[in-house]
Structure 1
Amino acid sequence: MPLLVHLLGFGTFAQGTSEFMLAGLLPPLADDLGVSLPDAGLLVSAFAAGMIVGAPLLTLATLRLPRRAALVGFQAVFVAGHAAAALVPDFGFLLAMRVVTGMAYAGFWALASVAAVSAVPPSRRGRAMSVVVSGLSLSMILGVPAGTVLAQHASWRAAFWAVAALSALSALAALVALPGGRDTTAHRPRLRAELRSLAVPRLWVAYTTTALAVSATIAVFSYLGALLEDVTGVPESLVPLVLGLYGVGALAGLTVGGRVADRAPYAVLLTGMGTAAAAAAAIALTAGVPALVIPLAVVLAAGGFATNPAVNARVFTLLGDTRTLGGALNIVAFNVGIAVAPWLSGLVIDTGLGLPGIGWIGAAFALAALASTLTDRALAGRETVSAARDACASMHV
């Protein structure tokens, strides 16, 4: 795998730490800013909302800019937003900064995905995307627990400063590794062609699968730290370790899924979402038993994240060479799931189900992702049969 792909993975690690670290920061952050836990959970949704808006908007706005300038520029905005949030500890301002930094991260991730799949042959796109997305798993293994420890021993603002520093380092690496100058005419994305590439019904089914698959894990992960402390009875000092184990499960799932996604995407999707549905439902039923909840959280992460390379590979296969705007919309789909899942989980927490109810939300999303995958497979089968009939008809003409 080219070095560039690994450096792009480091960029998703640096910025992905901010996306997920709130799972361990929500309780102290809510106490410090004087808001409820569900209200603090809106910070997760705000970041995702910024990504939903930012992915297509910033992709179109920078379509003719050199890729290196756009990528580094997005990271610079991301760094500035985190520094500002750490300096002004006000909930409303923090909510606004989460939207801004989410937009910047979306712009980076959309271009990073295109750069990664463009750097490898079509048969290795799933592997390349698994490397880029593995940065998110590493952020769970290292970044999220480290951010939780910083919040416990310093403050949540220290975690924001750490993310800013990592992201600045990533921007420097991208500045060195990416080629300068403008893209050649042959490789420069063209708006009309990019828009035409979206007129494929199966592509929108794939986007739906992306959103539902990520929702299945985020519905539980967004409040996992609170569940472990308040219901499961895990000591506060051990919560970072459990979150790190969740990240290990996610990385294991990504590794396996990345190796199989290119040749058997449907098998990966169906197996991963089936596993996630079972694990999430089991967490809801056994939320007060640490010996069960902790390994179930790891299984949930493994099953859910195993599907990420497959959903990305499906989208980029359907897009072909016109992948810039379509790839950005896949980021939108990913973050629709991240925005909706914690919102629904927050609603459930305020009902009689309480924190264990987040497991039922995760299971419902996973089952919906299974249905979406089966729909995509049925449509693919019909297209194959139709193509075979057309080929036979042409042979007899």
Structure 2
Amino acid sequence: MPIAVYVLGLAVFAQGTSEFMLSGLLSGIAADLDVSLSAAGLLTSAFAVGMVVGAPVMALSSRTWPRRRALLLFLAVFVAVHAAGALTPGYGVLLATRFVGALANAGFWAVALSTAVAMVPDRLKGRAAAVVVGGVTVACVVGVPAGAVLGERWGWRSAFWAVAIVSLPAFLAVWRSVPGGGGRGATAGGAASVSAPAPVPGPAPVSVRDELRVLFGPRLRPVLLTMALVQGATFCTFSYLEPLLTRETGLGAGWVPVALALFGAGAFAGVTAAGRYADAHPVAVVATGMAALTVGWSALALTAGSPVLALALVPLLGLLAFGTGTALITRVLGLAPEAPTLAGAFSTTAFNLGATVGPWAGGLALDAGFGHRAPVGVSALLMVVALLVAAATAKSRRPRAGERRLSAVNRSARGRRGSPGEHPGTRL
């Protein structure tokens, strides 16, 4: 695996820490800037909206740039807005920096995914995508708790400075290890050499219209919808894990970081496993993971009152959720080689759309008075919908008997004729 792929994972780690760290900083931000807790919570919403909108917009804006230039620009903006956020005395400026930072993060995510899979052969594309996504899981295990500790000891601004500082070595590493390359539409889909002495221009980039035709076509549309539903189920419960454990399971507040670390460790294991097996068996990994997640979220909803069972299920669900999510990203990138710029962007949008809608749906269930297990039940329902979408898609793609016979006749005819200039005995 090229070192540049791991460098991209490092950068995603820093950005993933920024995305999720506010869960432990909201009270300090609200008190320091003299705003309500709900207003401080809008900082998280601003980041999520920026991620959803930013992925396709940023990918399109930079589609003719060399990959390295795009990655460096997005990282530079990300560092700058975190420094500005750490220095600002005003809530409005901080809100703006969260949105702009999310745009940069979304653009980096989209380009990083397509860059990682373009630098490796086909048999390693799933593993390369897993390394990039793994940066988010490491952020959940290490970065988010570390940000909470910094905020507790030195104030919330120290966590923003830490994210900016961690991003600097990632900036230098991207500059030194990622190939310059031509426009991304020219190189995505093929393996690139990290040690190439000079950028080699490729063919003309794929047009935006052609890329959108692929991504909105019957192959990709249901996969992207399924990805959003799976991630919605994941973040629906993850966002309300603290009240579930402390008010329903009966664990003390000190167990919450332990549970989050267990979830993150399971997520890291799931991403690693998906990177190893999703290339060879993509459909089987996704189908098995989705079925297991449906059972797992249902089991947690039923057994959340038991501390032992709840803590046992948390890492297992982290493994299944992020393993399935990674396999779905690999599936999108594998099905859309004709959309080298926007495949990663649409994957990022679907991922973060789920991360936005899931907590919202869980909050509605809580506000309706269904109890602290309600978000877990919503997660199970979202997985049922995801399974129905996948089943309907598989049924619609299944050829009818007449179509199968016609396809067999056509293959037989081609086998008898052979291709022009080809000897019949040379075909595999």
The two structures share one fold, judged by TM-score above 0.5: yes
| Matching residue of 2:196 | none
| Matching residue of 1:125 | 125
1:244 alignment partner AA: A
Quick check: 1:18–1:160 contact (8 Å CA) kept in 2?
yes
Quick check: 1:144–1:244 contact (8 Å CA) kept in 2?
no
Query: Is 1:159 matched with 2:175?
Result: no
Partner SS, residue 128 of structure 1: helix
| Matching residue of 1:375 | 392
Which of 317, 326, 337 in structure 2 is aligned with 1:309? 326
| Matching residue of 1:268 | 285
Q: Does the C-alpha gap of structure 1 residues 42 and 303 become closer, same or farther in structure 2, counting only changes over 3 Å?
A: farther
Deviation at 1:87, TM superposition (A): 2.5
Q: Does the C-alpha gap of structure 1 residues 155 and 282 become closer, same or farther in structure 2, counting only changes over 3 Å?
A: farther
Note the residue ranges of structure 1 that are not aligned, 5 or more in a row. none
Identity %: 44
* Distance in 2 between residues matched to 1:157 and 1:252, nearest whole Å: 32
Say how many residue pairs are matched.
Answer: 396
Partner SS, residue 399 of structure 2: helix
Q: Does the C-alpha gap of structure 1 residues 222 and 83 become closer, same or farther in structure 2, counting only changes over 3 Å?
A: farther
Partner SS, residue 262 of structure 1: coil
Which of 342, 345, 357 in structure 1 is aligned with 2:362? 345
Quick check: 2:271–2:323 contact (8 Å CA) kept in 1?
yes
Deviation at 1:326, TM superposition (A): 2.5
Deviation at 1:34, TM superposition (A): 4.4
Which of 304, 308, 322 in structure 1 is aligned with 2:339? 322
Give CA-to-partner distance per residue, 1:186-211, whole Å, 9 cap, x none: 25633244334335212111110111
Q: Does the C-alpha gap of structure 1 residues 18 and 355 become closer, same or farther in structure 2, counting only changes over 3 Å?
A: farther
| Matching residue of 1:86 | 86
Deviation at 1:380, TM superposition (A): 4.3
Where do residues 1-397 of structure 1 align in structure 2 (5 Å cutoff)?
1-26=1-26, 29=29, 34-36=35-37, 40-88=40-88, 90-180=90-180, 182-183=182-183, 184-186=200-202, 189-192=205-208, 193-382=210-399, 386=403, 389-390=406-407, 392-393=409-410, 395-396=412-413
* Distance in 1 between residues matched to 2:245 and 2:273, nearest whole Å: 27
* Distance in 2 between residues matched to 1:258 and 1:388, nearest whole Å: 37
Q: Does the C-alpha gap of structure 1 residues 74 and 280 become closer, same or farther in structure 2, counting only changes over 3 Å?
A: same
| Matching residue of 2:186 | none
Computing the radius of gyration from Cα coordinates, the structure with the larger value is: 2
* Distance in 2 between residues matched to 1:40 and 1:231, nearest whole Å: 26
2:231 alignment partner AA: V
Deviation at 1:155, TM superposition (A): 2.7
Deviation at 1:142, TM superposition (A): 0.8
Give CA-to-partner distance per residue, 1:133-161, whole Å, 9 cap, x none: 11111111111221222233333332222
Q: Which moved more, 1:189-198 or 1:291-300?
A: 189-198
Quick check: 1:41–1:342 contact (8 Å CA) kept in 2?
no
Give CA-to-partner distance per residue, 1:39-62, whole Å, 9 cap, x none: 654433321211111111111111
Partner SS, residue 85 of structure 2: helix
* Distance in 2 between residues matched to 1:24 and 1:17, nearest whole Å: 11
Q: Does the C-alpha gap of structure 1 residues 69 and 391 become closer, same or farther in structure 2, counting only changes over 3 Å?
A: same
Deviation at 1:177, TM superposition (A): 0.9
* Distance in 1 between residues matched to 2:43 and 2:286, nearest whole Å: 29
* Distance in 1 between residues matched to 2:302 and 2:333, nearest whole Å: 38
Q: Does the C-alpha gap of structure 1 residues 124 and 351 become closer, same or farther in structure 2, counting only changes over 3 Å?
A: same
Partner SS, residue 186 of structure 1: coil
* Distance in 2 between residues matched to 1:86 and 1:179, nearest whole Å: 32
Quick check: 2:266–2:318 contact (8 Å CA) kept in 1?
yes
Quick check: 1:271–1:303 contact (8 Å CA) kept in 2?
no
Specify which structure has the bigger relative contact order, considering alpha-carbon pairs within 8 angstroms and separated by 6 or more residues. 1
1:64 alignment partner AA: T
Q: Which moved more, 1:272-281 or 1:292-301?
A: 272-281
- Superposition RMSD in Å: 2.7
Deviation at 1:235, TM superposition (A): 3.6
Quick check: 1:51–1:105 contact (8 Å CA) kept in 2?
yes
Q: Does the C-alpha gap of structure 1 residues 386 and 190 become closer, same or farther in structure 2, counting only changes over 3 Å?
A: same
Q: Which moved more, 1:157-166 or 1:85-94?
A: 85-94
Note the residue ranges of structure 2 that are not aligned, 5 or more in a row. 184-199, 415-428
Q: Which moved more, 1:372-381 or 1:62-71?
A: 372-381
TM-score (norm 2): 0.84
* Distance in 1 between residues matched to 2:366 and 2:93, nearest whole Å: 25
* Distance in 1 between residues matched to 2:382 and 2:52, nearest whole Å: 19
* Distance in 2 between residues matched to 1:59 and 1:237, nearest whole Å: 41
Deviation at 1:90, TM superposition (A): 4.8
Q: Does the C-alpha gap of structure 1 residues 299 and 389 become closer, same or farther in structure 2, counting only changes over 3 Å?
A: same
Partner SS, residue 197 of structure 1: helix
1:200 alignment partner AA: G
Q: Does the C-alpha gap of structure 1 residues 97 and 212 become closer, same or farther in structure 2, counting only changes over 3 Å?
A: same
* Distance in 2 between residues matched to 1:176 and 1:237, nearest whole Å: 42
Q: Which moved more, 1:65-74 or 1:39-48?
A: 39-48
Partner SS, residue 180 of structure 1: coil
* Distance in 1 between residues matched to 2:214 and 2:162, nearest whole Å: 39
TM-score (norm 1): 0.90
Partner SS, residue 173 of structure 1: helix
